[in-house]
Structure formats: structure tokens, C-alpha cells
Amino acid sequence: MKNAFAYGVDYVLTDLDSGWPALISRNRFNLWSIRDRDHGGPRGDGRGVGWFRDVLSEHGFDRSDARLLLLTQPGYLWFRFNPVSFWIATIDGTPRAFVAEVNSTFGQRHCYFCAHDDFRPIVASDRMIAEKRMHVSPFQQVQGRYLFNFGMTETAINIRISYENGNQGVLATLSGKRRPATNRALLGAALRRPMGAARVLALIHWQALILAFKRAPFLRRQPPPAALVSDGHHTQGDPTG
């Protein structure tokens, strides 16, 4: 069974401490917003960048010159939902470690920590492998593994997530050019793709209906993993191989 789709989405990349344009805010209502409690820790009870800093320290990464960034879909008015956000530790603009913060429509969250053992730069050809721990799609089992290819430059984001489970799986990509989040750009995004995260959630359910119509096997909600964070490992190779 095959199914494919591509949609435009709006993500922001921020260190959370920089200046904010008028149309996006941190921890208060706005057209677009990011709340600390929505990221970094249990779902709805996050600690923001402080949590990410603690996770890095627990894994032996304590570089004072690192810049800690969040790549996420901001909340739109009163609504917020993120299938996946990324906490990223960079040095001189180059990723050294990241956490994929995955949320399911079942209300669960699990985080996958990925880095090289020596925290050398992560390049797009590096495959960061993590065993699947959480039930995300009702059409996929809680087994198999994720392969992350994380590409991030000063001008673009190119993230590839391949879920493999035997001869089945899903390929997801998040890619686009980086540009300043000016008020004009933020307003334009709201006009081009109104309702933000609510639109994304509606599209998720629309694709679920398509798969149900195709009679894809359905797996009921599974128990969440005991731990919030699990560690990946790495291998090198051509991401298209």
C-alpha cells in the first residue's frame, strides 16, 4: 500500500532569547507564539531551553560556546500542535547534537537524542539511527527504527526521517529556505496558510481517512514509553542509499 503527499508548513528557528517581531511572542498570546511549557520535557509541562541544556549536560556536552536553538511550528492564535520539533545545539552555525521532540495525536511525546560520540559536526550524509519507542501513527507498529539525516546550513533546512520496519515504513522530509521572520513574512504565512497548526492537524486526519479508505491495518493506541528520552547512534553514508 502506498500513499504520498506534500504540504507547505511554517516553522521558526530561534534561540528563544533573541528579539521578537511584533507578530510572534514567547509565553504570551499573539498571532504566532511559542510557549516554554510546550517544549522541553513532558507534553504540556515543558521547561523550554533549560531542559535541553540539562539533556546535553547528561550526555557530556557542556560547551559554553554552543548556541541552543529550537526549530518548531509556532502556535497560531489559541491553537498549537507539533508533530515534531527539533532542539539543536550548534557551534559556529554547525549542528553538534539534536533532539527530535515527537508528539502524537494520541497526546503522547517521546524525544530522540542524536549526536556523534565526540560531538563532531553533524552533516547531511550522516545517518543518525534511533529505535522507535512511541506509537505515532495508528497505521504503523511500535517497532523498527528511525534514520535521521539532518541538514542545516545558514540558508536552508533539509531534514530527512526514514522510518523502517522490515519491508514497510514511512519517509518524511522537512525542507525549505531560511529567511528572517519579519512581521511581513509572518503575516504572509498566516494569509497563505491560515490556521497554522490547526490546518496541519486537519491534514493529518485527512490523510488518515485516505489510509482507512484504502483499508490500511489500524493499531489502537499503545502505552507510552516509560522514559521521555532515548538515545540514537550513528552511521555514515549516502542519505539516498
Residue from 38, 41, 90, 46 nearest 69 by CA: 90
> What's 79's DSSP letter?
B
213: exposed, middle or buried (C-beta count within 10 Å: 0-12, 13-18, 19+)? exposed
**Whole-number Å distance between alpha carbons of 2 and 214:** 9
Which residues lie closer than 8 Å to 202 by C-beta, 6 or more apart? 195
Instruction: Give per-residue pLDDT as tens, 171-226.
Output: 999 999 999 999 999 999 999 988 888 888 899 899 999 999 999 888 888 898 99
How much helix, strand and coil, in percent to the nearest 5, is found in the chain?
15, 35, 50
CA distance linking residue 240 with residue 115, whole number of Å: 20
pLDDT(237) > 60: no
Q: What cell was used for 99?
A: 533532539
DSSP 163: E
Question: What's residue 235's pLDDT?
Answer: 66
Lowest-confidence range among 143-147, 209-213, 232-236?
Answer: 232-236
What percentage of the chain has pLDDT greater than the value 90? 73
**Domain positions in the chain:** 12-236
Strand partners, 152: 157
Q: Higher confidence at residue 137 or residue 128?
A: 128
- Give the E-state strand segments of 104-221 in sequence order: 109-115, 126-131, 145-152, 156-165, 168-177
Q: For the segment 47-88, what is each residue's pLDDT rounded down to a tens digit?
A: 999 999 999 999 999 999 999 999 999 999 999 888 999 999
pLDDT of 240 strictly over 80: no
d(CA 163, CA 130): 10
Cα angle value 20/35/151 (rounded, 5°): 75
Q: Are 70 and 85 in contact (CB under 8 A)?
A: yes
